Chain A
């Protein structure tokens, strides 16, 4: 009898040890605990405990976005996100949402250029429910023609709504095409109406089976969890989902050079003249990016930033000013968008912007201004882990972009070690003559 029992135990041991490739050591230097491991089917798992409230957030990110779309198939990634709520083998249409709402939870999903994320926060005793829901749609999403067609109609409606509600959308799409000449980066995530119409059920099925596989996903659970039980639950729901084929490597980056442009276009819905100014900057993963991020705060963030003070407060020549750094996977741009009362003020606003840029190019900013910009940056940075969901998204994105969480702890310090000299050097290097300027005329 005892022999039998030991045989049984050793079987369990083998199963337990063999099923994941080494659970990593807990990292001590992040502001919160993190455990990371990989299931046998390739699913990357990140866990982070936080016992302050009885809540748990679950994020699943698939390593796929609009950059994986082929020409004439734009909108497919976003369509796929929508279809993930239309029911899987054991869960009816829209039931995912109902299950989460009924227990007081919240959920959402988002598609970007490089990832598609599904997330929910629920009372922590309901973790298994979320894993049941998420694993079912990863394992066995039900894709029928009727569902695909309905989702297409809804998306086309959304595209039309966006076109009529965002009065400067036309110019924004045009601007992106000039700033990011590569197709993969410059087409809108929401897709094109004509492309969407042509998407077939075959395209959808193929996209799902290629990209929505455990080996192309990251699962992050953050909140009030018992680590041992959580690992058991993850195994139960995810480990037997078969590994997918290796995802096709992207036909990129075919990083095309941006050509300096200064043109005037007509934006049919715009009621005020406006302009867009853009500079291509380094990759978000390059060393210069730290200084560029601080420069963003010096120029554009808050009511005391250089451009806000000059255009809105002092000269009062702009009705609205916004912008900043925009990341698109491994590309990035520095964008400024200004709305003016008339074309004379538009001219003056452009001159004012160039004059402010030139000031920083030739004079060091003050130590006080640098500290202010860094403190504002730090406040926004720490907001990225304000809630269990924020934390889960922060870890998931960090992992997806860096393929590791190792250098995250030092990340903030790198931004905060930027000097006044770095700011001057960086603005001279990136905000120069090579730029895209679009003047928007009203009809």
Chain B
């Protein structure tokens, strides 16, 4: 018994030594191969600590939000004017855009080039972006120059000149910009998409072409500016190494004389989604491939369906691992790419599918996309696909707010739509909560397919003979003629 025990002990000992030898000096041969064979398990994900958004409203009604981020050495300022293209008169689309582009083009005793000089002197960059519901001015600069930046901004807002010469310059540059874009299939598709989807709705203003630009004069601009560029219709967001107290003191100093005015609240009703399939074709003579842009109106960003729908969209077409890409590119070899996207405005959202395909399979590609949409709205999505989509959305979220500019843009969107914390620090929780059953509950409410825009060389129309009716447009979005099945053109 004793002997046996000793043998057992010494055996244990030698195994121990052998094992420790393996684990240390001898590692490579055995264990190395094993751990290389399959991907390692992830560790638990550290918590995402989002910076707080501190907000206040100044005495003139200007809302101010500050997001503190240290060690950036730069500040990002966003001025949001809560009026975008949908506020342009129906007869003068593009007015909101021209007004926004004019803001940096001259103030009292400060020419357009002196403004440029002042901006670049603080390492700055100034630009504007115009959306259906609001216009955003982005101004980033070195952090030592907050006072200078606010001074420049206040001069532009409080004493703009809108000189006729500068209006001509801005209109000329917008005109040439649109002419240049008239060979960009995705730009043309989006424009026609807005034109058809929003028929009589104010969002249709986004679909203006170059012919309207020169009709806008100084009087139109002044009237738009005076009506909408008021502090109680504006929000300011500052991101950088600063606190709300300092920021509000400084902003008040430079912008307190910006006078509050009455502004009638304008409710923009949600447009109705299209209910029938509508196929449109734009002839782009030099196009080698075919671009497909299709989709419909969905709910606004504040809807309860938002988070399950974000997950559904991810499964359908968010990345190259999603269904559309895997089917149209990897499996069928029809497409160079195929993705789906969600975009939100105040009164509605839009769902779009974008693909670039080989001409001879353009009909087949559209049919495949429609099939995928039908499948995802009718069949329950397997849990593993839902989990994979969530894992992408959760993992990718921090990348969307990594730079000071991306962070400011995200926060500006939250402020412009008045979204609150559900869309900021509760975003990930909302996504984590989604499962296959929740997604299946939303699915049937949204007809996802109706408007289909196809852009390509006219010679490829023969490949589209499978459709009942094809509406043909020119590159300015003007309807040319229709083709019915069996007809030759």
Contacts and interface: CB of A to CB of B under 8 A. Distances in A.
Interface of A: 4, 8, 11-12, 15, 31-32, 52-55, 89-90, 97-99, 101-106, 121-129, 132, 135-136, 139, 224, 236, 240, 302-304, 309, 313, 368, 371-372, 375-376, 378-379, 382, 386-388
Interface stretch (B21-29, B54-62, B342-350, B433-441): B21-29
A106 B142 contact: no
Interface string B36-56: 111111111111100000000
Contact of B398 (A99, A123, A375): A123
B403 A386 contact: yes
Given A123-B45, A128-B40, A129-B40, 17 more contacts: A54-B48, A101-B320, A104-B394, A106-B396, A125-B44, A125-B46, A127-B43, A128-B42, A128-B43, A132-B39, A240-B28, A375-B120, A375-B123, A379-B141, A382-B72, A386-B404, A387-B402
A48 B398 CA distance: 18
Interface string B393-413: 111111101111000000000
A136 B395 contact: no
A102 B27 contact: no
A11 B40 contact: no
B267 interface: no
A236 to B, nearest CB: 7
Question: What 7 A-B pairs come out closest when comparing CB atoms?
Answer: A104-B395, A104-B396, A379-B123, A375-B123, A128-B40, A125-B43, A123-B395
B142 A240 contact: no
A378 B123 contact: yes
A15 B36 CA distance: 21
Contacts of B142: 375, 378-379
Contacts of A101: 319-321, 392
Residue of B25, B140, B395 with most partner-chain A CB within 10 A: B395
A4 B16 contact: yes
Contacts of A375: 120-123, 142
A376 B121 CA distance: 7
B248 interface: no
Contacts of B28: 240
Given A98-B321, A375-B121, A388-B402, A104 B116 contact: no
Majority secondary structure, A binding face: helix
Contacts of A386: 72, 402-404
Say which size band chain B's interface belongs to: 35 or more
Contacts of B40: 128-129, 132
Contacts of B125: 379
Given A103-B392, A123-B398, A12 B24 contact: yes
A379 B395 contact: no
Given A224-B46, A378-B142, A104 B399 contact: yes
Contacts, number: 133
Contacts of B321: 98, 101-102
Interface string B376-420: 000000000000100111111111011110000000000000000
Contact of B42 (A52, A55, A98, A126): A126
Contacts of B24: 11-12, 15
B74 interface: yes
A226 B332 CA distance: 44
B35 interface: yes
B421 interface: no
B146 to A, nearest CB: 14
A53 B37 contact: no
Contacts of A32: 71
Contacts of B430: none
B46 A124 contact: yes
Nearest to A122: B395
Contacts of A304: 113, 116-117, 120
A104 B74 CA distance: 28
B387 to A, nearest CB: 11
Contact of A53 (B38, B43, B48, B72): B48
Nearest to B20: A8
A387 B395 contact: no
Nearest to B16: A4
